[in-house]
A and B are shown apart, each in its own frame.
Chain A
Amino acid sequence: MLGKGSRKFEIIGGKGFKARLAPLGRWRWPVFAIVSAFILAAGVSPIALLGYQSVMLIDGQYGLSNLTLHYWIGPSDPAIAFGSPGLFRSAAILGGAWNSIRFAVTASFIAALVGLVIGYIVVRRRKSWLSKLLNQISFLPYLFPGIAFGAMYLSMFAVRRGPVPALYGTFALIVLVAVVKRLPYTTRTGSSAIAQIGQELEEAAALQGASWLNRLRHIVIPLATSGIVSGMMVTFVGLMRTLAPIILLITPSTRVLMTMAYRYAEDDITQLSNALVLFVTLITIVGELIVWRLGRGRLSRMREGGH
């Protein structure tokens, strides 16, 4: 039948669904052990090392007497690190942390929404030229190095050009650059979230008189939630750590943690830089947990079999 082939990836059909778990049997513990060892080696130990390095008074001296929490909670001391106070006492760092969170949350939310709408057009208007064009364009940011991207935006928005205001130095500009830079990813997660939703679910709503916006709000977004949330999570994590595309656009008022960590590393205050990176990791994990909790909506509960 015509046009049916492209529907084979639909998962959310009109008939409900249930999750299926595969029991591992006697492989349960061996599999668990291998996975744990991998996570330990690849994930936990580098962080532990980073943590260790952030509590060394003088970098590279491995001894108990060299341990200090100065870089975390110490007050400003002209003898250490050019007088930079510890992480939790530094107004600049805490301000940067707030900027980072604000930046990553705002940008990942906007990026997810833009990705969903572009994904919708790409999937549902598959045969139109607009769909093909959007699909190609959304891939472009992937090809440019982040730093070049930042440079382009810097020259584009440095001065006012006609109706486009000079965005340089604003929070909006770094959000914009991040949303565009993440477009290749968010468009893919958006379109896969849409592709999972059976077209008939939307057609049924259209027959009831639901406008496109109504369909998006009542059918598409609720059903795409888990896809959107996981897309947001990936974007959030990526943006918390992102440096290249935004470093040229950051001004003192829009500093984020990563640009500060970069500066500290340049100034050879490795410990503070490491502490900052750890701090970013911590925020990222907490953020992920929050988003994960939020994402455990009705649909994810349904996927688990309605418990």
Chain B
Amino acid sequence: MTSSAFLTVSELVKRFGEVVAINHVNAEIEPGEFFVLLGPSGCGKTTLLRCIAGLEQPDEGRIVIGDKTVFSSDDDIVLPPGRRNVDMVFQSYALWPHMNTFENIAFGLKLKKMSHTEIKRRVDQVLSDLGMDGLQKRFPFELSGGQQQRVALARLLANQPPVFLMDEPLSNLDARLRLDMRSELKRLHHDAGATTVYVTHDQTEALTMASRVVVMDKGVIQQIAPPEELYATPANLFVAEFIGAPRINLLRARPFSDATGNRLQMEDFSIPAAWLPDREEVIAGVRPENITLHTDGAPDTVQFSVYAVLPAGPEVFVHVVRGDTTLVVRMGPGLKLDMDQQVWVDIDASAINYYEVEGGELVAPST
């Protein structure tokens, strides 16, 4: 990715006293991308978003939006939020309680000295697009949570900024509404075509909505990747464990080869390997859906016993144990299993990722 980026963050550092909230962060966001910042609370994702918005002033680094440098510690550039071509939806919605829906949405347009008729046309248009016709005169306290959320969204859309910033906009909605709003937001982003930076701590939200996801931890970017890649090949153990529910299975493994080919020696069993990492010992990561259970033995399967069966509608999570090894398996609902039943585990060798024992970085195949 080179000069085509629309929003560039380089070597950004933000400290709060002793705490480094953002530590040398780099990101290049393409035009029209849905860029999701994901991570546990306190990882710096919201701070990064607020730095882009201009609500927080970084200590070092550079932020370029479009062809405009909005922040640069070297050149002493700090543009105020209003001059950055961005608008934001806040987690709390930040609607002005003394203004009705119309006034809330029209506020920014009035500041831009837009004509009365144009303001009215735009406000009515966005409200009707969001299915909020006729609520112009309502005050925020007269609206439901979902409606308030839409007003906040309408305020952003009416401004037509080239960059949308969203700080956990769905986290205050109930579960059902949140699902509906996800698809609505995705559609909206598609129709508006605006570059979007979206903060969430909800990995499902990130994976379902993003064109690319940034996983952050302790102010440092762990990985930037499209959702599929993030899920299939996490760059390190933090991402591997953070993404995916239930969690990825991690096993200590010693690679070796014998007459049958490449193998991985686990605690008291071995399984075939697709390739051998050039290490004495690694941590092997395998997702629950890449393991299959059989009720009778077959070549290269390993005997485990069922610890617990957790049905979850269309899928079933099965915990199996063998000695000190526990595996979580994701299965379809067809197979009926009992507790303590003996099962044979079949791990998809091609789906295994290897990680360094020290540091937890992904081990790439040496070519």
A218 to B96 Cα, complex, angstroms:
10
Mask of A280-300 contacts with B, CB within 8 angstroms, 1/0: 000000000000000000110
Closest to A17 in B: B141
Complex A-B: 5 CB contacts under 8 Å:
A15-B148, A16-B140, A204-B95, A206-B81, A209-B108
Q: Are B107 and A205 in contact (CB under 8 A)?
A: yes
Given contacts A16-B142, A203-B90, 16 further A-B contacts (CB under 8 A): A2-B21, A15-B92, A15-B97, A15-B141, A15-B145, A16-B140, A16-B143, A203-B81, A203-B94, A204-B95, A205-B96, A207-B55, A208-B107, A218-B107, A298-B98, A299-B97
Q: Are B87 and A1 in contact (CB under 8 A)?
A: no
Q: Are B111 and A210 in contact (CB under 8 A)?
A: yes
Closest to B143 in A: A16
Q: Are B92 and A13 in contact (CB under 8 A)?
A: yes
Q: Are A14 and B98 in contact (CB under 8 A)?
A: no
A144 to B3 Cα, complex, angstroms:
65
Mask of A49-85 contacts with B, CB within 8 angstroms, 1/0: 0000000000000000000000000000000000000
Nearest Cβ distance between residue B140 and chain A, in whole angstroms?
4
Q: B41: which A residues are within 8 A, CB to CB? A: 1
Assuming the contacts A15-B92, A18-B141, A198-B92, asked whether A207 and B97 have C-beta atoms less than 8 A apart, the reply is no
Among B55, B87, B98, the residue within 8 A (CB) of A302 is B98
A204 to B80 Cα, complex, angstroms:
12
Q: A210: which B residues are within 8 A, CB to CB? A: 82, 107-108, 111
Q: Are A299 and B98 in contact (CB under 8 A)?
A: yes
Closest to B161 in A: A207
Please tell me if A214 contacts chain B, counting CB pairs below 8 Å: yes
Q: A198: which B residues are within 8 A, CB to CB? A: 92, 94
Please tell me if A266 contacts chain B, counting CB pairs below 8 Å: no
Q: Are B92 and A207 in contact (CB under 8 A)?
A: no
A222 to B139 Cα, complex, angstroms:
15
Nearest Cβ distance between residue B237 and chain A, in whole angstroms?
25
Q: Are B93 and A15 in contact (CB under 8 A)?
A: yes
Please tell me if B42 contacts chain A, counting CB pairs below 8 Å: yes
Among A207, A223, A302, the residue within 8 A (CB) of B53 is A207
Residue of B19, B87, B95, B148 most packed against chain A (CB within 10 A): B95
Q: B80: which A residues are within 8 A, CB to CB? A: 206
Among B55, B82, B97, the residue within 8 A (CB) of A208 is B82
Q: Are B159 and A17 in contact (CB under 8 A)?
A: no
4 nearest A-B residue pairs (beta carbon): A16-B141, A209-B82, A208-B108, A16-B140
Question: Number of A residues whose C-beta is below 8 Å from B?
Answer: 31
Q: Are A206 and B82 in contact (CB under 8 A)?
A: yes
A189-232 at interface with B (beta carbon < 8 Å): 198, 200-201, 203-211, 214, 218-219, 222-223
A18 to B19 Cα, complex, angstroms:
38
Q: Are B94 and A201 in contact (CB under 8 A)?
A: yes
Q: B82: which A residues are within 8 A, CB to CB? A: 206-211
A55 to B157 Cα, complex, angstroms:
71
Mask of B9-23 contacts with A, CB within 8 angstroms, 1/0: 000000010010100
A13 to B87 Cα, complex, angstroms:
19
A108 to B112 Cα, complex, angstroms:
35
Q: Are B95 and A16 in contact (CB under 8 A)?
A: yes
A22 to B190 Cα, complex, angstroms:
49
A222-269 at interface with B (beta carbon < 8 Å): 222-223
Mask of B129-154 contacts with A, CB within 8 angstroms, 1/0: 00000000001111101001000100
Closest to B98 in A: A222
Please tell me if B209 contacts chain A, counting CB pairs below 8 Å: no
Q: B96: which A residues are within 8 A, CB to CB? A: 14, 201, 204-205, 219, 223
A208 to B16 Cα, complex, angstroms:
26
Please tell me if B86 contacts chain A, counting CB pairs below 8 Å: yes
Assuming the contacts A204-B88, A306-B141, asked whether A12 and B16 have C-beta atoms less than 8 A apart, the reply is no
A: residues with CB less than 8 A from B are 1-3, 12-18, 198, 200-201, 203-211, 214, 218-219, 222-223, 298-299, 302, 306
Assuming the contacts A206-B81, A209-B83, asked whether A14 and B90 have C-beta atoms less than 8 A apart, the reply is yes
Among A203, A214, A302, the residue within 8 A (CB) of B97 is A302
Nearest Cβ distance between residue A302 and chain B, in whole angstroms?
7
Among B47, B53, B92, B111, the residue within 8 A (CB) of A209 is B111
A294 to B182 Cα, complex, angstroms:
45
Q: Are A207 and B86 in contact (CB under 8 A)?
A: yes
A207 to B52 Cα, complex, angstroms:
11
Nearest Cβ distance between residue A197 and chain B, in whole angstroms?
9
A5 to B269 Cα, complex, angstroms:
52
Q: A211: which B residues are within 8 A, CB to CB? A: 82
Closest to B97 in A: A16
Q: A218: which B residues are within 8 A, CB to CB? A: 107
Q: B87: which A residues are within 8 A, CB to CB? A: 207-208
A160 to B141 Cα, complex, angstroms:
56
Q: Are B42 and A207 in contact (CB under 8 A)?
A: no
A2 to B90 Cα, complex, angstroms:
17
Nearest Cβ distance between residue B85 and chain A, in whole angstroms?
10
Closest to B83 in A: A209
Among A3, A17, A204, A302, the residue within 8 A (CB) of B90 is A204
Assuming the contacts A15-B92, A200-B90, A203-B90, asked whether A223 and B98 have C-beta atoms less than 8 A apart, the reply is yes
A13 to B83 Cα, complex, angstroms:
25
A207 to B159 Cα, complex, angstroms:
10
Assuming the contacts A3-B16, A205-B107, A208-B108, asked whether A223 and B97 have C-beta atoms less than 8 A apart, the reply is yes
Q: Are A14 and B108 in contact (CB under 8 A)?
A: no
Q: Are A306 and B159 in contact (CB under 8 A)?
A: no
Q: B143: which A residues are within 8 A, CB to CB? A: 16
